Structure formats: C-alpha cells, structure tokens
Chain A
Amino acid sequence: MKRFTNLFLELDRTTKTNDKVALLKAYFLSAPDEDKIWALALFTGRRPPRKIKTTQVQEWAIEQANIPMWLFRESYGSVGDLAETISLILPVNTSTSEKTLSEWFAYFTQLNKATDEEKKQLILEAWKQLSTYETFVFNKLLMGSFRIGVSQTLVVRAIGEVSDMTSAVVAHRVMGQWDPYHSSYKELIYGENTGDTTSKPYPFYLAYGLEGGLESLGQPEDWFAEWKWDGIRSQVIVRNNELYIWSRGEELVTEKFPELESLRTQLPSGTVLDGEIVCFENDRPLPFNILQTRIGRKNITKKILTEAPVAFIGYDVMEYEGQDVRQKPQEERRKILEDLFEQTEIKGAFKISPLLTFDGWDELRNLHLQSREQAAEGFMIKRKQAQYLTGRKKGDWWKWKVDPLSIDAVLVYAQKGSGRRAELYTDYTFAVWEKDKLIPFAKAYSGLTDAEIREVDRYIKQNTIEKFGPVRTVKPQLVFEIGFEGINESSRHKSGIAVRFPRILNWRKDKKLEEADTLDNLKSILKAYK
C-alpha cells in the first residue's frame, strides 16, 4: 500500500505530464504484478463497487476521533473531501502494515458478507495500521469515487514505454471486459489471445475542435464533412455471431438497446463499426435528453421502446471480414461502410451518416448554419486520407460545433466547490425573470477565471441573505451570460425547462439586474429549437 500511496501522492503533486508518465513508469517497473493489475483497474475506472455505506464509515470515524457531528461537518467543509477529512481526524497511529494494494482488495472482499458490526471492526482494524496518507488512499478505494489526475492515455503511454509496445497496442489491450479479480497483468498486457477477445473493442479516435477557420484545412476536395450527431458514441461489434455494443465510456451497453439486436444477423461476422446511437422519430433525430431518459433505466419497457426508439448511425468501420482495417484511408473505409450498409435489409435501426456535398468552404459554412435544424451539434470534418487513429489526435479529424445558445441570468444561490476549490463558492444557480420574480433554471460551475471566482466568492460571502445547509441565498445583483447546448421541456424543474451543458460564458458586469433575460426569452428559444 505504501508504494501505491506514494504514487498517488506524487501524481497529485505534479501537474506536468512528463513527470506523471515518469512516476507511472517507475511504478509499473517496480510494483508486483498482482498490484499492477489493480493499479491499472483503478486508473481505467474499474474500481469494484462499494460494499459499504459512506454514512457508516463517517460515523465510525467520528466516534474514533471523539468529536461532535457539527465539528466533523465544519472540518469536512474546510477539506472538501470525505476520504481526506476522515484520514485527518482519526487518531495518529504508531503501528504500520506491510499489506500490498492487492492484499487490501482481498481484505475488502471480507466486507461482502459481513454484518454491520463486523464491517466496523474490519475498517477500524485497517485504520489502526495505516498512516494518514495511506488512510486517505484506503478510504478512497473503500468508498469514494476514486479519481486521480491521470488520464488513461498517460497510463497507456507509461505501460507502453516500460513494456516496449506502442500506445495503440496497449490501449487496445486494456479495453473491454476484464476485472482485476480474475485477470492477471501479464495476460492482459502481454497476452495475445487470452480472455474474452470476442467482445474487445478498439480504442476510439477522438477529434479536436477546429481551431483556425476552414481555410486552415487546405483544399476542400481533400475532406469529407458530415453532421455531428448528438447521441452516444458507440462501437458495434459482430463477431462469432454475437453482438456487442460499447459506449465511449467503455460500458458494454448491448442490453440497453434491444432495437439494435437485428444488427447481429444483418452484419457479417467480423465487423466492427463506429457510430452514434441516437433516438429517432419518423426518421428525424430527437434531442439527446430523450435518449438520456432511457440510458439510466434498468429495464427497457415497451413504452420506452415506442416513445424513444434508437438507431445506430454508422460513420466508420474498424474491422471488416475479421481484419483490422484502421490503417486504410478514410475514403476506403467509407466505401466498405457503404457496401456493408447496402447489404443490410433493415434500414430503420441501422443508418449511415450521410456525407455532405459542398463546393468550397463557403458553401460548407452556409450548411453549418442548418445544424440545429438537423438536430446536429455541427460538423465532423475528416481528411479523406485519414487513418483511424487511437485517442484524441490533431490533424485528420476535426469537430466544428455550433455556437452555444445563451441567455443572461442572475446569480441567486451558491455552494462551495469540492477538492481544489473546497473553500471557495464555485457552484452557482442562475435564474431568469418571470414578472418580478427570479426563477432558477440552471446550475453551472465552470467558465470563470480563478481571479473572477475569487471576486464572486467575496461577493457571495458579503451578500448572503440566508444560509440553508451548505447553500447560500445571495442578494441578486450579478448577471452572467449562460451558454448551453440544448434545451427541453421539463416537469422536474420549476422553470419548466431543462438546459443541457449549462456553463458560464461571460460575466456581464455591464448588465444591470433588470436587464437579465426572462423566462419568456427561454421559452422562445425552446420553441425555436425543439
């Protein structure tokens, strides 16, 4: 555990990519294989589900620290992280433990069948053996969302460098269905055909936002353009007459979309497609939040299937006739995709993302204005010679999103952030006018500079009308321009409206309180874009 704790702390200390990779390399070179598989699982979001109630853990810690609940809350308020707060208030230990990361996970399995009292004993026993920092990491593993400032890409790069493989190969190997209880590091990283390779997806190629104008891309003839669909990026795999659908978040979502079951028989075995799952109504794509309502559901009911049927819009092919075709140019892959599409009979659940025809960049710019009417987020622009790359790479694939919708709204509630910003008020609720009342309609976190955050924080602390738990009601005065990607009706919100991806675009210091937008303004945007 010491080794992993040190890795965690040192990764947390540095913001430099090269330093992080160096730390990861050192870890993967020196840690035992049994630990490495766990580290890898944690870095790739495969932490086993929590076996314990956070409130209980908190209760036991308070009891050990011998402090009242309110004082714990004050402490938590200052630290901003539960696992860390607990590690800090517990009595300081003198004994230590030599248990490794994997041994601690084995220890966790005892929690599965334990009674509450036994669980408590197990946790207290562990705390007694761990230093403050180890306790912090232990708590994170035990209950928190284990997050660390390291992307999967960096971990893949580090493993690639220590094991002499390309990042693309490692990225592919660590994908798919595996869990650290049943897989070994050797098999996963070095094994060619071990475990379940039938379901294994390829790493997605991700695009950067277009930075310069279209002209910066060179000749229009070298490029494809298509709509950027607003759904769930997915990979459809048909191998051995089985169907697997993976989301970009590396979730296996096959069961969630029974409409797509027909792809299993319609596509030839040995086919892997990249595309977007989108809800449709009479051949017209529906907004993302319709799709959202069914992602969260455990059971897919008839009602959902009729109200929000999905289709898979294919736009690329990674494997054809059992062969990895990612090295072939975009143009050729597109041809294969079109052939595959021609061969299928069902045209409802499987669509193909149409290529836009345009004559010069000006024409494409005009088309872009129609994005919202097409229920698209903008364009994807792909070089005809592009290979299918791994991860987010610049150069061959670009996304060009439409400008967000926006509205001027008033800051009405504030709450402290967490982690890095635990002492500052960074989570805001915004409202618009309805007659002489302010109706809250969106929460937003990001978009301000650190200096602005401090300024707003000071305003909030000096202008609090009321405290309600962690939430402060603020004297309405500050006006912000709030951008968002989509807008829909919502019965769950007081405003009757839900916006998607709200964020602060600008602090409108030039606007007076009365000049903020009204609920009617929001409703007219809803009408225009629904």
Chain B
Amino acid sequence: MKRNELLSFTASSIYCPSADIHIDPWKPVERAIITHAHSDHAKWGCQHYLAHKDSEPILRMRLGSDISLQTLEYGESFTINGVNFSLHPAGHIIGSSQVRVEQQGEIWVASGDYKLQDDLFCPPFEAIKCHTFITESTFGLPIYKWKPQQEIIDEIKVWALQNKLQGKNSILMGYALGKMQRLIKNLQPFDQPVFAHGAIYNVNEQLRTAGFDLPYIPPVNNASKSDFQGALIFATGSVLNTPWLKRFEPYSTGYCSGWMAIRGAKNRKSIDRGFVLSDHADWDELNTAIDATGAEKVYVTHGYTDTFSRWLNERGVESAEVKTMYGEEEEAATETTES
C-alpha cells in the first residue's frame, strides 16, 4: 500500500497531512504557511498564518493588522507531529521563502515563486537539497533568458533621461510589491524628481516603517501638475489607458515584466517601452535551480506546466504538472487599491 505523500495537492492548497498544515492555500484553512505576500499566494481568511518575518508588514497591510501571524527567520525551524519545517530565501520578493519540509529523512521543498539573479534588495535564492521539489514555470520556455539586472537598469535610466530631455514624464509600470522596490533600490540616485502611485507608496511606506532601506518617494496625489516636469513616476500596470495618466501629459510609458521579452506581448499592451525585468526564474535559472536541488521528482505548479514538465521528463527528471491557483490575477488583485 502506498503511504501518504509528505505533501499532497488538494483542491485548496499544497497540504501536509501529517502536520495538518497548508502551504499557500487559495481557500481559507486553519493553519497556513505563506511563501510570500503576493495575492495569489497569500489569501485572506485563514485562522493562523506563518511566514518569514520580512513578509509581515505587507501581510498585515493586505490581510488585516489583526491576523494571527507567526514569523520565522530564514533557516529557523519548528516541528509539528514529527514533521520539520523551515524557510529559505527564494529571491522572488522581500520575505519570499521556499518551504522545506522533512519527515524521517525525506525532504520536500515548495518554492513558491523564485528567481536566481540577485536583485540587490531581497536576499538571493538558496538551493536546498531535497527529494521532491515543487517549482513554478512562469517563464518555462527557452525563449526567456534574462539579461543582467544592471543592463536593464541602465536601459531604464537612459529612457527616463531621454524623456526628461524631451520634456516628457516617464511612467514606469510594474507590480506594486516586489518589482517597484527592486527598481527604486537600483535606480537611485535618481536623475529627476520621482513620485509614486498610491498603491506603491503604501507598500513602500509599510516597508520603510518596518526598517527596510528604501528612499522616500512622495505620492502622486500630494503633488500638483506643475511638479510633473521630466519626472519619473512609479505606477502600477492598472493605470494604463485610464484618466489617471492625464495629469502627466506629455509622457512616455514603460513596463517592466518578463513578458516584455516578446515583441507581440509588448505591442499588445500599447505601451511605449517594454523592459525585460522579471522576479521569476528564466529558462536557464529554472533548470539550474532544479539541478541544484538534486531532486528526483519535480512537481510543476504554474506557468508553462505541461511543456516544462515534459522537458524535465525527457531529461530524466521525473516530473508531473499539478493544478493550483497560483500565477493568476496577481496584477488585478494587488493594484486596484488606489484611484
């Protein structure tokens, strides 16, 4: 008889039956470990949450200041019913963690979302040896290969400076949580006045209050139209094609995402510039990460699951795709908080 798996894929989460604990559940459960604070992984309504301490400010902001939340440092562990849990850096956004689960010498790692490139804001990914690795595959096609971060940062700086010289404002768009702090951290010192969309301002201030080293970026709403001259404005993708942008005319729009690697994807968005900057692993990083874990079995939770799983199987790594709710509505869910 086949014994219970250490982790199983249920209709509401990645679940550990021995410890009765859920990882990134998309339905309310009693006890949840949260890999990171993006809305497709951190859902509202659980009775108890556990996450890395750097996730706390945002989890409390988004899920409620009164949630029951226990935090851990990276590498710190705890045991429930003979199952040992610990968190390890995933390099995706601030606080993002891989969850290492061990029982009687068998090790599983649920990685949530991750990237290998060091973004110089959140602690970089650490490969954890395991028997079974649970991976994303958001960019699991060989067409996705990221350039070094500094090259993209330079592209953005040149773009923003050119706009300034032409008397235009630069609207730089991306996810409010993660991408924006990465950009702000790496773009400074700034060559022009900077402002932030309210949703980004809120996240920034939450993190600054918690002691993270980020510069103060004033919110757009406190400024007047005359302040926006050759300025750089950090905004969320939700502002595209909305009247919110009107006050910045004339302006040029730039969008930061891994999807910008494909011309068609960029052109569909009707933006002026696409910057290929992602907080997910590219093709080579996915393969490198999986090799580094030494895992015999790999589950693929979201992204190009069928393609990537087939690729792994053909390379001799046993793999299967599993259905989860990750990778959806991240943008829509996190970025509608401000007018």
State the A residues within 8 Å of B (CB): 12-15, 65, 67-68, 70-71, 74-75, 78-81, 84-85, 88-89, 92, 419-423
Task: Please state if A88 and B261 are interface contacts (CB–CB under 8 Å).
Answer: yes
CA distance A182 to B218 in the complex (A): 60
Contacts of B304 in A (CB 8 A): 74
Task: Please state if A79 and B272 are interface contacts (CB–CB under 8 Å).
Answer: no
Q: How far is the CB of A461 from chain B (nearest CB, A)?
A: 14
18 more CB-based (< 8 A) A-B contacts, given A88-B144, A88-B261: A71-B142, A74-B307, A75-B142, A75-B143, A78-B143, A79-B143, A79-B264, A80-B264, A81-B263, A81-B264, A88-B143, A88-B262, A89-B142, A419-B264, A419-B267, A420-B264, A421-B264, A423-B264
Contacts of B273 in A (CB 8 A): 13
B314 at interface, CB cutoff 8 A = yes
Q: How far is the CB of A407 from chain B (nearest CB, A)?
A: 31
Q: How far is the CB of B163 from chain A (nearest CB, A)?
A: 12
CA distance A419 to B264 in the complex (A): 5
Task: Please state if A15 and B264 are interface contacts (CB–CB under 8 Å).
Answer: no
Contacts of A88 in B (CB 8 A): 142-145, 261-262
Q: Is the interface of A mostly helix, strand, loop or mixed?
A: helix
CA distance A241 to B263 in the complex (A): 51
* Closest A-B pairs by Cβ, 7 of them: A88-B143, A422-B264, A75-B143, A420-B267, A89-B142, A74-B307, A75-B141
CA distance A74 to B310 in the complex (A): 12
Contacts of B264 in A (CB 8 A): 79-81, 419-423
B265 at interface, CB cutoff 8 A = yes
Task: Please state if A67 and B267 are interface contacts (CB–CB under 8 Å).
Answer: no
Task: Please state if B270 and A15 are interface contacts (CB–CB under 8 Å).
Answer: yes
Task: From known contacts A14-B272, A71-B307, A74-B307, infer whether A89 and B265 are also in contact, taking CB-CB under 8 Å.
Answer: no
CA distance A13 to B310 in the complex (A): 35
Task: Please state if A79 and B268 are interface contacts (CB–CB under 8 Å).
Answer: no
B9 at interface, CB cutoff 8 A = no
CA distance A41 to B245 in the complex (A): 40
- Nearest B residue to A450, CB-CB: B268
Task: Please state if A420 and B142 are interface contacts (CB–CB under 8 Å).
Answer: no
Task: Please state if A84 and B262 are interface contacts (CB–CB under 8 Å).
Answer: yes
- Chain B residues 262 to 284 lying within 8 A of chain A, measured CB to CB, are 262-265, 267-268, 270, 272-273
Q: How far is the CB of A521 from chain B (nearest CB, A)?
A: 37
Q: List 13 A-B contacts (CB under 8 A).
A: A13-B273, A15-B270, A65-B142, A75-B141, A78-B143, A79-B264, A81-B264, A84-B262, A88-B145, A89-B142, A89-B143, A420-B267, A421-B268
Task: Please state if B262 and A420 are interface contacts (CB–CB under 8 Å).
Answer: no
From the candidates B141, B142, B263, name the one contacting A84 in the complex (CB within 8 A).
B263
Task: From known contacts A421-B264, A423-B264, infer whether A71 and B311 are also in contact, taking CB-CB under 8 Å.
Answer: yes
Task: Please state if A12 and B263 are interface contacts (CB–CB under 8 Å).
Answer: yes
CA distance A79 to B314 in the complex (A): 23
Q: How far is the CB of B276 from chain A (nearest CB, A)?
A: 10
- Nearest A residue to B271, CB-CB: A13
Contacts of A75 in B (CB 8 A): 141-143
- Chain B residues 77 to 125 lying within 8 A of chain A, measured CB to CB, are none
